[in-house]
Amino acid sequence: MESGDSLSLTHSLPSLSFEAPLTEEEKTFTQSIRVRAWALTLCACAHAAFYCRLLTAMRCKVLDEAHFPNSWLAKYQILKSNRGSLKIGLLGCGHFGKQLVLSLLQLTHLSAANITVSTRRPETLSVLTDLGIECFYDNKRLATSVDVMFLCCLPSHLLAVSSQIRGSISESCIVYSLITAVPAARLKNLLAHSSIVKPHYSFHKINPWSKVWITGKSPIEALADQEVIEMTSPFKKADLSCVDLKWFEEVLYSVLNFCHLLQVPYGVTLNMVNSLLFSPSEGLEAMDNPVLFTCESFVNATCIQSLSHSSLFPWFDLSSVSRRKTPLTKFFLLHPRLQHPLSFVYRMSMLKTRDPPETDGCCGH
């Protein structure tokens, strides 16, 4: 008997199936739970990939700027040698973690050499190690060596994990938490670290997701479909979006923090952000009187008064952004038309296939 033949003996016996004792109502409920879990995986992978692409693009813009103050030329040389490439780490790698790694490889310019994984059972990740990804079990080592650390461990493991890495996370490292039901404020206390991005997901209507789930596609396969990409877009009306727009506020403030570390003057930072998100390119025509980010979009009037031409944006506590109204919150409310260009940037980013770079790194230098 060939492998798997024994399982086929029960194929025509529905009474032995897992869902046999369930009522139709219970079956509908369990299916909705599965659809939500699948949709959560899909959206989390898409948004994580978009974030990595955005942060990488900003790093590359910093490298391309010619006017660097001599006081931080050394930092520029360090960045230059790394060619803008992000170092990504996953802490925890179950089923979702594997999907996330594969999505990052497919939807970004990250190579396997840019990704490391720390998990209690690295020997089970042959599918990743065969791709060239380094997998080990040393959470502290991971926390000290990456630019973005995705927390993918179980909530029940969080206390143990936080005790292992507390105090070891680099100041420049962004902790991107995908642990459900644990708010950013709690993570800040556990990790003694404030650079935390924590998306909040909700699915108001499950029917559109059910239609895609029934096809049996993996997240990567589904995200090759332009209609599915549009479904995952964060830049839609609140009752249609799967993620709170606060997530994008955290993303933008984390970009400003990155520029703060490299001593980029706030005016240069604003120009680069606006150029990255609103410059006409790849089929996007220039908007009439486009609404661009200004200093007031990110900081209050008191802070603006203290800024000089060479000043930096202040360092932002990302864990506070998710639970407080910020100048950026007001800016998005006043300018809902921003959703159109941002949605376009998101779609174009997700539709790009990952072509092997001609040179090492991701900036083409």
Position of tokens 């994008």? 248
**pLDDT reported for residue 13:** 64
**pLDDT reported for residue 114:** 92
CB 200, CB 207: distance < 8 Å: no
Q: What is the pTM of this model?
A: 0.87
**pLDDT reported for residue 81:** 52
- What percent of the chain shows pLDDT beyond 90? 54
Residue 59's pLDDT band (boundaries 50, 70, 90)? confident
Sheet holding 134-136, edge to edge: 134-136, 115-118, 88-91, 148-151, 174-177, 196-197
Higher pLDDT, 286 or 183: 183
Q: The CATH number of 32-351 is which of 3.20.20.70, 3.40.50.720, 2.30.30.30, 3.40.50.300?
A: 3.40.50.720
Mean pLDDT of 74-87: 62
Task: Look at 264-273, 322-331, 354-363 and tell me which has the smallest mean pLDDT.
Answer: 354-363
Tens digits of per-residue pLDDT, 199-220? 999 888 888 898 888 888 888 8
**pLDDT reported for residue 28:** 75
Higher pLDDT, 60 or 176: 176
Q: Which residues contact 201 (CB under 8 A, 6 or more apart)?
A: 40, 43, 44, 242, 243, 244
Tens digits of per-residue pLDDT, 138-161? 999 999 999 999 999 999 999 999
Residue 75's pLDDT band (boundaries 50, 70, 90)? low
Tell me how far the alpha carbon of residue 188 is from its chain's centroid.
Answer: 18
Mean pLDDT of 57-68: 74
CA–CA dist 90, 280 (Å, integer):
34
CB 199, CB 181: distance < 8 Å: no
The CA–CA distances, whole Å, from 362 to 56, 108, 141, 359 equal 8, 10, 24, 8
The overall average pLDDT reported for the chain is: 84
Q: Residue 192 above 70 pLDDT?
A: yes
Q: Which residues contact 240 (CB under 8 A, 6 or more apart)?
A: 204, 205
**pLDDT reported for residue 24:** 72
